[in-house]
Amino acid sequence: MLKLDSGIGARYRWFYPISSFVIACGVSLIFLWSMFFPYVRELFGLETVAPIALASSFVGLGTMVIAPPLAGILFDKYGPKPPLGLAAVFFLAGFSVLSVMINYEYWAIGRYIWYGGSFTVGLGMGFFVGTFPSTVARWFPDKIGTSMGVAVSGHAAGSVVMAPVIGTLITSLGFTAPVFIITGVIGFVLIVAIGVLFWKVPPPDWKPQENVAETKLRAEENDSEKHYTLGEAVKDTRFWFLMICFITSAFGFMGFAQNASMIVEEGLLAGGYGRDYIAVSVVPLFLSLTGLANVLGAFSWGVITDKIGGPWNSIPLVYVSSALLIGGFYLGYEYLAMVFVLGFILYFLFGGEPAVHFIIVPYVFGRKHIGKLMNIMNSFSVGLGITLGPIVYAQLRDITGGYIVALLLAIALRFVATGFVLGARRRTQLMEGKDTTLVRHR
């Protein structure tokens, strides 16, 4: 019988972020969900996108809102194995449900299978998302940034790895049940064979023996900082300013990402390209390249943040530059080369958002109570963005006949977010009695 405390030990602790990366490559499919939209629309003969895109909201609900808190409760009590087991079961179950959808020709029935299967897959991804950060954090009290960077980048890499896999399956087998079954089995095997069998965690106060002195010194330095509790943070204006920033930016990012296939199709159809060519050849390559850009962005913006004086300076840069690139992408999306070039740059900027958001929370509110603060500020905002962004984008597209209004909304909200982050930065300057433009809260 598999014991909850069995697994890889301290000597090979780098196994955890690396294996998290590997699992995420096969499981983190949230940015790929729009890849199924054209096929679902064709299967049921639909004219509008919004009813199909609603599935992305169900995926987001499971991934970021419902499953992670439950995974956290199980993790604190039993360790990573039980929530990972649930992740594997829900992931495979969701794709099994979706495979049944192919047998129905009427949307009145098929939509419930499409929504239910998408939500169940989301639960599978969510139980994994709610488990790996805590696991990696337990093993790396001394190198949390590097280890978490490796682990988190796997979620962006999922698009790079699985887009061509799913594209090849659809090309070879058609949009049929085996495509969903094979995709579900890949994720199930990765979670079970790596996570369930080999993951465990050390005690909460564990420290690596070779770095005890260094870790103790870092802890003493942190004790000299102001560490906000959740109750104290919510009374701080900066908490709400940053929440607005996170929500508006996640709304724009997730809305674009979850409708990316349809946005690309809209532009290239206007440019004279064929629908089948776009769906089979362009979209999988686009998702792979932008997934790679996301990975590079997540790593690069962490370095850039350190180089230019901290997240107070990098966040406005990410917001403004991505707003301009959204506009540039729309202006050039009828041209294939521009779709790939501008899409790559845009997703490089998008990839920086999670990185700088994760950095700013402990930067402002300290690290002692970072678990609750990070989950509320990041998970809630991203969950809300995933849930609302895709359907609002698609609804605006169906009402107006194109994505221009949705993209203009995303651009406007990014400038709103920029204003709020500058306001929060100014608030920090006033609290610290400083009147400089480069501020670091320490």
Give the burial string for 33-45 (b: 16+ CB within 10 Å, else e).
bbbbbbbbbebbe
Matching residue, tokens 């919510």? 234
Give CATH 1.20.1250.20 domain extents, the chain. 8-217, 225-442
Q: Could you give the CA distance from residue 166 to residue 251 in angstroms, rounded to a whole number?
A: 26
pLDDT of residue 206: 79
Residues 225-442: name the CATH superfamily. MFS general substrate transporter like domains (1.20.1250.20)
pTM, two decimals, is 0.71
pLDDT of residue 144: 62
**CATH architecture of structural domain 8-217:** Up-down Bundle (1.20)
pLDDT digits (tens, 9 = 90+) for 317-330: 999 999 999 999 99
Confirm if 150 and 76 have CB atoms less than 8 A apart.
no
Q: Could you give the CA distance from residue 393 to residue 74 in angstroms, rounded to a whole number?
A: 35
Matching residue, tokens 């698609």? 394
Residue ranges of the chain whose pLDDT lies below 50: 215, 217-224, 435-442
The 10 Å Cβ neighbour count of residue 339 is 25
Confirm if 130 and 72 have CB atoms less than 8 A apart.
yes
pLDDT digits (tens, 9 = 90+) for 256-311: 887 888 899 999 999 999 988 888 888 888 877 887 888 888 778 767 877 787 78
Q: Which two tokens stand for residue 213?
A: 């002195």
Query: DSSP H helical segments within 45-143, as ranges?
Result: 50-60, 67-78, 81-101, 107-129, 132-139
pLDDT digits (tens, 9 = 90+) for 45-63: 888 877 888 888 899 888 8
